[in-house]
Amino acid sequence: MSHSLASTSSTNSSSSATPSSSAVRALALEYKSLQEEPVEGFRVKLVNDDNLFEWEVAIFGPPDTLYQGGYFKAHMKFPHDYPYSPPSIRFLTKVWHPNVYENGDLCISILHPPVDDPQSGELPCERWNPTQNVRTILLSVISLLNEPNTYSPANVDASVMYRRWRDSQGKDNEYPNIIRKQALAANAEAKKEGIVVPMTLEDYCIKPKRKETNEPTLDSNFFDDVFDLETEDDLPTDDDDEDDDEEEDEDDDDDNADDSGKGETT
């Protein structure tokens, strides 16, 4: 797992020093989308308003889990060639978890570069690919919190403790006690910041926004200008067809008159 994390760091550091225009556009669109339609259990904001490549992520502990009531902060950093390389996530809040390193770095397969690494035990389809986005990452993170990967842990002690609790069917409470203690401490920090942490499923689940009926629409002539399409005024009408038929009949009469004139003798 350490090898995978090193690969991620290497990939991020080797990215171009100048952000690509596609990366800026992708992050701008994703950030806007997450503001308009947030992911349940998360809040995202920019560390600095003028930098799209560093985000602060707040994770609310899901109700009816060990993390209920928790408010865990993380820092998400994007490479300049995003989405072709994955971002990295580091927890700023102390988190005792099999897949979180001591320094807070999150180890999750979706954030590992798509390289051949047999030692990791990860399938290529489990690793990063450019079709992934921040939304899928956040959903994977919340899933990993509740269902750790203990096969190649970042925190071996936490992994052993978690397996003891799981295999004892809850009789060994050392692991859940640590998590709940951290969640309570994080909740206290949230209160200091004026953050209300959702404690019930009803509060946790995001209610869909009602669509505004007065949303601006494109000018009807927009596509005509762009694609130089014919408008209805340019298209032939039935009246035009009738006029054309009358003109053709008149032409035929003139031709007949000419022919008959040629046949007369003087």
Q: What is the mean pLDDT of residues 191-210?
A: 81
Beta bridge partners of 74: 57, 91
Answer whether residue 215 is part of any domain: no
Which pair of structure tokens corresponds to residue 139? 């959903």
pLDDT number for residue 251: 57
Is the domain of 153 the same as that of 62? yes
Confidence grade of residue 253 (pLDDT, cut at 50, 70, 90): low
CB 72 within 8 A of CB 21: no
- Domain of 44 in residue numbering reads as 2-204
One domain, residues 72 and 164? yes
Distance (Å, rounded) from C-alpha 54 to C-alpha 215? 31
Question: Can you give the CATH number for the domain in which 158 is found?
Answer: 3.10.110.10
Please indicate, yes or no, whether residues 54 and 149 belong to a single structural domain of this protein.
yes
Q: In total, how many domains does the chain have?
A: 2
Q: Is the domain of 82 the same as that of 169?
A: yes
- Of the candidates 114, 144, 107, 109, the residue with the CA atom closest to the CA atom of residue 129: 114
Q: What would the two tokens of residue 167 be?
A: 């295999």
- Mean of pLDDT over the chain: 79
User: What are the pLDDT digits (tens) for 24-55?
Assistant: 999 999 999 999 998 889 999 999 999 999 99
Give catalytic residue positions: 107
Mean pLDDT for the stretch of residues 147-169:
94
Residues 35 and 162 in one domain: yes
User: Considering the entire predicted model, what is its pTM?
Assistant: 0.68
Same domain, 126 and 65: yes
Residues 253 and 148 in one domain: no
What is the reported pLDDT for 2?
Answer: 43
When mean pLDDT is compared across 2-6, 19-23, 198-202, the lowest value belongs to 2-6
Asked if residue 73 and residue 25 are part of one domain, the reply reads yes
Whether 201 and 64 have beta carbons less than 8 Å apart is answered as yes
Asked whether residue 49 is assigned to any structural domain, the reply reads: yes
Q: Is the torsion defined by CA of 74, 79, 81, 86 positive or negative?
A: negative
> pLDDT tens across 75-98, in order?
999 999 999 999 999 999 999 999
Domain match, 131 and 233 both: no
| Nearest C-alpha neighbor of 63 from the set 205, 200, 202, 176 | 200
Q: What is the pLDDT of residue 230?
A: 44
Residue 211 included in any domain: no
Same domain, 148 and 187: yes
- pLDDT value of position 101: 97
